[in-house]
Structure 1
């Protein structure tokens, strides 16, 4: 039986001629080779593109140092910790859409400027680094080129707590990431209990001019609990916003608009300049910001004045009716005095620079008492000259006054219900002329003047200065700079604005608010703490607002005294109840206790005059999340904790005692109480005559 034939495999189709199959194989190989070449070139092209893309990103991402990175193509700034964790994220140049950019060319140096970007036909952005604060502070400055351009930079709040000015009628200690902290006060059995209520940021007016009109101390500084500080250099008008829709951003916007297009050769219009500092925490970034601000103000630095906290209170002659009672109180030692503040209207007319002779006769006795008791006189001075004042015509003839857009000085400013002109504080001849007249007053020994209070004037926005680089926002700082040239004179600012390089006393009016049928000083501590971190450590608790009340109770005055004595200085109001022997006795008890406070305060001031004297509850431990939210307690230095009752008729309160061992401060000889923190305790201001304060126990 024969088997079937075996089918052997072949490499070709027997039905197709061999020559044809060989030709097809060649074509197939050529196609494979082509595809391989295409793939290879594709891979090469992809690699070249990746290299180009990497190079392009590295060009468009400017790394000022390892922790400050600006990505140009999306106009974002990211600030990181040393461990590369995000601290702050912002959008710069919100009004610049897609626009070509290049590095800024310096024609004089014939080189590109470092850390400078030029958006063609739009704007310049320059970033400078402070070498004195290693890698911690950068200043960003915008110059506009295109008509209608306005610089605007926005930063995301995230979930951090922020500290700084919000709006005149809103509390700001802290400003929280999603909501603005606002304290209300309720009562249980006569005791005040602080609880947190909130207003949403999107309920806050979108833009707020800074300042629309300065009625309070305003320093454009903001601190974030993640270790960030932002402060604006005050030469250019700007607005701020805390409610940029649902993004929860803080925005700084130039108020100046570029009016007409400018070429690169002509240069840009200065619009906005501010500094961002970073640190490990709130306390660390405070010191970095202080170092930077001192270096920035180096050209304004004058001979340092010897200035320190005051033991005894200030008294003020608010009107002629105060002269006789103050004379009697000082003569009989019912009150003591570090300074006597003379009336603001000591001239016949603002700008006479001479005492009103009738007023001077009435003040002679009071001035002699101050001299006998070692109490100096404070002379309030302004740079305002009414049109009928003695020196007005001389100032006009010599061009010593600011002028408006029409080159006029008359009726340019209305101040204290009068119209007149304001000294140009950038004109050296005008300043010399003005200070010569102040010196004549200081040299008259019968006046006993050894301090000056610099009265604030809101200079019009259209004011033209001798120095064209200055604007209305610089004026208070310039007035301080000029007055600081007077040696051996203590200076007091009526209102602080911007930053000054030397310590100076700042007056803080302790206003009374009606909260749930109670009279409260609940704004005072946040304002004081904000001034402290803004670079003003020597704060005066000014009680003059109490004089405006029709009837001040003994208890309300005691509430004021119980926190005012812990300030570096305080001004006692002239109240009828100061004739009450019990009130005088209580006040003198507190004044005697203040000797101990001042001794401690001066020691702290000598050791660390770069730090605030009144310090936030987070100062000892910046990462204490409970302390970050407290706005009604404060430290004096590091060792004295103060938790006053800020409302009347309340007599008790809840106090947060931070980690450590603390002993109560008492005004009698009874046994002190010891507390181990952290804990919350309940305390009363009456009964055992316990003062609401605690010393750190070592």
Structure 2
């Protein structure tokens, strides 16, 4: 705990609560509360010495742990992670940091959960050096937490316990996690988004975009919208079309609309220094500024070495940005937006903003709220970050996946990531692009290392029962009629279960229950379910067990207790046992319905 002299303390306890002070060092207050079968301990450490003081508590990682954050490897359970002590803020998991969708909520199969207060300057480690400990540290360093009033640090958290993981999760979800206020546009649950990114990268132009739409139609695939990704502007930060690539954007969008497509577009919070918008935003103080200065704080990002970044704490800056988005709607009939970035790691280390905050996740929160404001009525935007934004009825996209089979940001991370999003309060999961983003080490973002046919179809099978589907690499590029036909069948299968998905989405607004659930959700005392990371439940009654290992044509499947209809084999099977060596050819997706 970091106490200088553990034996030199004074009790300040009363009313049955624990209260202990170490003079000129720290104070501990711990209270107990009970509700039905759940007991919670509220722990509060307060520094008494100086602003640079560190307060630290560690918990043993007993049982199997879940929740927290999006991760590069997305282990499920997360005990295998070895994360050194680092600021717990929304970051880019490509940088091997805590991911851009994260909450201060963790859960153990041993029946307890942990929730840490939002204003704690939290640094977190998990199993560092194989200690099997979960350590929370509250401290102010130069960055990223902003101690604008020289407050002494404090560490407040709650640990709740019940006799099983489901019971404690239900209580902690109700107590600490906001419910979505509505659901996104139902079309996004039903039909795929088609993005230009992985297929065309920044070489996209008007001709290619319209050909892409024509191919979707001619190959008889449904669509909710077509998404114009990078690069559609002349300079990053300006909201005007590159007329060399898109000679008549209004007419182009009209033609796409006439073919039945809604058109959405990629946006971000950056303004490269050569853009017209950079100059305007700088003059109006709409950019994050250098510390105690009127000058913009320049940052680098994946499309610029010197850029300003929008100050989302400034209401005037937010209104100005939203007005530019509205102009795209009014002038070109752009219907909604794909919001990129928003993580804390894109900010400078030290800076000034219009409204200073203690926790830099406020930036992430306000970027997501801006995204919601851009399309409050229909709600068919997407955002890739989340931090205390569970109330927003919009899709949260997983960070770009690599086109690999591996646990390193590849196919094997999709199910664990969807499960994690759901547990921490983000049920509207958009699992990025089917087949990944075609990146490779040599060419980076611009690579077109498309997945092979086996990886593509297995990835599509994983996505079939998830809340939404998104394509960029299209099935027909493989010139394989069977693959294209089978892809269409999987989309039809997804469509047939859309009423179930939408019902579960609406249920999430009331109960907070995820749409995609771990097997232990229906079997919270069955220890076998705690380790299963390649199966999931859609609601309580549909179990999906796709093949996620290259070359495999069979797999072992665990069915929780009960009776389950095997939809592939048209038979009923008893649960509470394994189906070993279950055959699943390339075009077979094993799934089961509770009877």
1:427-465 C-alpha deviation (Å, 9 max, x unpaired): 222222222222222334x43313443433422332323
1:593-629 C-alpha deviation (Å, 9 max, x unpaired): 2222212222232344421111101010111100111
Q: Match of 1:150?
A: 54
Q: Match of 1:27?
A: none
User: Which one is further off, 639-648 or 323-332?
Assistant: 323-332
Task: State yes or no: 1:530 paired with 2:430.
Answer: no
**Separation in 2 of the partners of 1:430 and 1:277?**
41
Shift, 1:632, TM fit: 0.8
1:324-355 C-alpha deviation (Å, 9 max, x unpaired): 54122134253221122212333322322333
Q: Rate the CA distance shift 1:130–1:307 in 2: closer, same or farther, 3 A.
A: farther
Q: Rate the CA distance shift 1:157–1:435 in 2: closer, same or farther, 3 A.
A: same
Aligned residues: 555
Q: Match of 1:428?
A: 315
Q: Match of 1:641?
A: 543
Alignment of 1:608-647 (within 5 A): 608-609=508-509, 610-647=512-549
The counterpart of 2:396, out of the listed 506, 513, 517, is 506
Q: Match of 1:663?
A: 565
Q: Rate the CA distance shift 1:234–1:607 in 2: closer, same or farther, 3 A.
A: closer
Q: Rate the CA distance shift 1:656–1:306 in 2: closer, same or farther, 3 A.
A: closer
**Separation in 2 of the partners of 1:651 and 1:519?**
23
1:342-377 C-alpha deviation (Å, 9 max, x unpaired): 123333223223333334437667634542354422
Q: Match of 1:588?
A: 488
> Is the Cα contact below 8 Å between 2:289 and 2:295 reproduced in 1?
yes
Q: Match of 1:225?
A: 109
Shift, 1:304, TM fit: 4.5
Q: Rate the CA distance shift 1:622–1:451 in 2: closer, same or farther, 3 A.
A: same
SS in 1 for 2:436: helix
Alignment of 1:194-233 (within 5 A): 204=82, 206-211=84-89, 213-215=91-93, 216-220=99-103, 221-233=105-117
Q: Match of 1:554?
A: 453
Alignment of 1:25-36 (within 5 A): none
Q: Match of 1:461?
A: 349
- RMSD of aligned C-alpha atoms? 3.7
> Is the Cα contact below 8 Å between 2:299 and 2:347 reproduced in 1?
yes
**Separation in 2 of the partners of 1:287 and 1:639?**
18
The counterpart of 1:539, out of the listed 429, 432, 442, is 429
Alignment of 1:240-319 (within 5 A): 240-243=124-127, 248-257=132-141, 268-294=151-177, 304=182, 306-308=184-186, 310-318=189-197, 319=201
Shift, 1:146, TM fit: 2.2
> Is the Cα contact below 8 Å between 1:556 and 1:647 reproduced in 2?
no
Q: Rate the CA distance shift 1:222–1:607 in 2: closer, same or farther, 3 A.
A: closer
User: Which one is further off, 655-664 or 139-148?
Assistant: 139-148
Q: Rate the CA distance shift 1:170–1:568 in 2: closer, same or farther, 3 A.
A: closer
> Is the Cα contact below 8 Å between 1:577 and 1:583 reproduced in 2?
no
**Separation in 2 of the partners of 1:223 and 1:126?**
23
Structure 1 portions without partners, runs of 5+:
1-91, 105-111, 181-200, 260-265
**Separation in 2 of the partners of 1:138 and 1:500?**
25
1:519-569 C-alpha deviation (Å, 9 max, x unpaired): 972222111111110111111122262533635322221111111111111
**Separation in 2 of the partners of 1:412 and 1:139?**
41
**Separation in 2 of the partners of 1:467 and 1:141?**
27
Task: State yes or no: 1:673 paired with 2:595.
Answer: no
**Separation in 1 of the partners of 2:28 and 2:326?**
45
**Separation in 1 of the partners of 2:162 and 2:461?**
35
Relative contact order, higher structure (CA 8 A, sep 6+): 2
The counterpart of 1:372, out of the listed 258, 261, 264, is 258
Task: State yes or no: 1:496 paired with 2:354.
Answer: no
Q: Rate the CA distance shift 1:504–1:274 in 2: closer, same or farther, 3 A.
A: farther
> Is the Cα contact below 8 Å between 1:460 and 1:472 reproduced in 2?
no
The counterpart of 1:481, out of the listed 362, 369, 391, is 369
TM-score normalised by L of structure 1: 0.70
1:264-320 C-alpha deviation (Å, 9 max, x unpaired): xx984345444434444222222322223346x9xxx9x746544511111112233
> Is the Cα contact below 8 Å between 1:239 and 1:253 reproduced in 2?
yes
SS in 2 for 1:552: coil
> Is the Cα contact below 8 Å between 1:236 and 1:473 reproduced in 2?
no
- Structure with higher Rg: it is 1
User: Which one is further off, 418-427 or 450-459?
Assistant: 450-459
> Is the Cα contact below 8 Å between 1:150 and 1:257 reproduced in 2?
no
The counterpart of 2:327, out of the listed 418, 440, 443, is 440
**Separation in 1 of the partners of 2:20 and 2:352?**
30
Q: Rate the CA distance shift 1:577–1:209 in 2: closer, same or farther, 3 A.
A: same
Shift, 1:224, TM fit: 0.7
User: Which one is further off, 481-490 or 590-599?
Assistant: 481-490
Alignment of 1:90-109 (within 5 A): 97-98=6-7, 100=9
Q: Rate the CA distance shift 1:646–1:121 in 2: closer, same or farther, 3 A.
A: same
Structure 2 portions without partners, runs of 5+:
94-98, 144-148, 440-447
- Select the structure that is richer in strand: 1
**Separation in 1 of the partners of 2:29 and 2:591?**
49
SS in 1 for 2:526: coil
